[in-house]
Chains A and B, each alone.
Chain A
């Protein structure tokens, strides 16, 4: 546990914790901030949070694993989120995922070996009018065709 004792949380996260510590129901908000700072929630950070917030570690893991949004694994520098909402599903969202897997050579929820990309399937980006849709780091690409993917990826 030595690593946790010496672990310094990022200043951004510490500030946020100071701001939220006394508010009831703060755990999810703090985990959001932690994920924003680290890109995912590293194991030692979860341990440290349990200590700082005085919350059982089991509860922290209970919450992290319940919600899709929280990730326990390191993710790529660029996160490709392919929408699998109903409209996108009907219009071939699955084909987009398959094509990305072929181009990048990794499966869903995996990171490319160079750490450049992760591919994730997400619920609904709320741009159903543009189906099928994916987003890379929050930038949305709509009315996608498989043939556009190499060009889009080359921008990153």
Chain B
């Protein structure tokens, strides 16, 4: 090691938003002030994944894992840890759990990382994503070299097929098969596309991969180009991800400089180049045919399949489209071999899956686990359980296209087929944890609102069906529902699944069907008893004052914005339900829990 210490600073979006740039500048200044330039190297890395604890700094070789740092803590780390060799205990990750453990001095002991297995995120939090040399030092572009000089295109496709890798964008189509279709399609021009239009609200796996390890995507796309004989690649990325775009641009420029993109790669006869194209905020563009329309500069409306893009895609030419996470697996599969990869995971779902674990969970963040890990392991072992000791209610996977997984399936091994069997889907990897305070009907309405907003309007089942579903859900949450609405919801949902043109419409009703199946009693409660047990649906709420607890202070009456609380400090107070707008201010304001919410 040329340096005595390495300081790795997480520079993912989440940590940067909590001042990791300032922390970096402080480190640079302190290192200069203490004349440590030759002993310490500071590296800005991609996401560590443990976003809950950000900003995170790791010091090597000590393996000290500092969390929730502030710029003013930097000097202490330099003076204590770097100069005196004593870790700063108060800044180390401290799980504060009942096992009586002390601040963690070794990353390997942190629960959050113990059950994880990193293939896709192998370089995130390890290398500086803006330096190609660091990627190369971690075997980067070695897979490309291997395919160019040791493998035929058919061997590459065979290796990917044998690995059992399936598309990580949601549908789970076998990647090798996709490539072989494009390979076989006769055409002089073919294209490679990376789908980085991560539109699922509550998911940021692709963003972190691109921010933390952009070269792995470039390398993988080039390998695919060689395998199917394409010379041009496009990365279609959300305009909302400026940091990822910046790092991709840097990576592309560096790769061109090194002869890893452009003409005659590494002196071979193969040429390949990549261009970035920006999305403009349309969820439907995550659907491959809509994405292609958008790449062509059109409105992002899906096209009927077949023909599939693998045969007739961008500008009518055969096109391989894969999602960021799928791409990130490719170099590893080539280097370590299909057999190695196929050993990880379950029978039909190989490898790992990255999830953005969020919602009401203690350790929210980005995780990568082998396929077949159970929800219980993810939520309780890695995620550290539900926030504030509340009850787990359900987890939503697949975002607006997926479904809920209730507590009874906590021990189901998670893979493509098991999730479909229980009415959800893998999706791109958003995993939102809900607790007892979340109303299942309200969440379903949220997803439907999303799908209705994002429906492109081309086909009637999605355009009209989605709107009708939303309308019915609004009636139910407003207290105007009737039991026959449930039947209507289910019939419209099924029609949308069967008759919609693209994936968005076909899956938009999944949240409705899945929540109605597992939480029927909550729907009927809303309809028959006008009751929302999570107190989320404001129209169904009723506030009352408990005489026995009320001290007649009058705070509630003062707080009420519509004058619905009348009375005085002698007689006490009363809520007029006809005037009440159910804002809940009185409930929040009362210090004596004398207001009930039912």
Contact = CB atoms under 8 A, between A and B. Distances in A.
Contacts of A90: 359-360, 432, 434, 438, 443
B263 interface: no
Nearest to A85: B201
A121 to B, nearest CB: 10
B182 to A, nearest CB: 19
B430 interface: yes
Contacts of A69: 239-240, 279-281
Contacts of A85: 201-202
Contacts of A87: 201-202, 358-359, 364, 432
B581 interface: no
Contacts of B432: 86-87, 90
Most buried by A among B14, B201, B240, B296: B201
Interface in A13-50: 24-29, 31-32
B54 interface: yes
Interface stretch (A2-10, A107-115, A122-130, A147-155): A122-130
A133 B14 CA distance: 10
B359 A123 contact: no
Interface in B448-498: 456
Contacts of B203: 124, 126, 128
A56 interface: no
A133 B283 CA distance: 20
B281 A123 contact: yes
Interface residues on B, range: 35 or more
A86 B297 contact: no
B349 interface: no
A126 B297 contact: no
Nearest to A124: B201
A76 interface: no
Q: On chain A, which size bracket covers the interface? A: 35 or more
B132 to A, nearest CB: 24
Contacts of B416: none
Max count, chain A CB within 10 A of own CB: residue among B297, B315, B396, B446: B297
A156 interface: no
A140 B13 contact: yes
A84 interface: yes
Contacts of A89: 201, 446
A123 B284 CA distance: 13
Contact of A28 (B54, B204, B280, B456): B280
Interface of B: 13-14, 16-18, 51-52, 54, 198-204, 207, 239-242, 277-283, 294-300, 315, 356, 358-360, 364-366, 396, 399, 430, 432, 434, 438, 443, 446-447, 456
Given A66-B282, A129-B52, 15 more contacts: A25-B297, A31-B280, A32-B278, A67-B300, A68-B281, A85-B202, A87-B432, A90-B434, A127-B14, A127-B51, A128-B203, A128-B356, A129-B14, A139-B17, A140-B16
A-B interface, 5 closest residue pairs, ranked by CB to CB distance from nearest? A129-B51, A140-B17, A67-B280, A85-B201, A86-B202
8 contacts: A90-B443, A126-B204, A126-B207, A126-B240, A130-B17, A135-B17, A140-B16, A142-B17
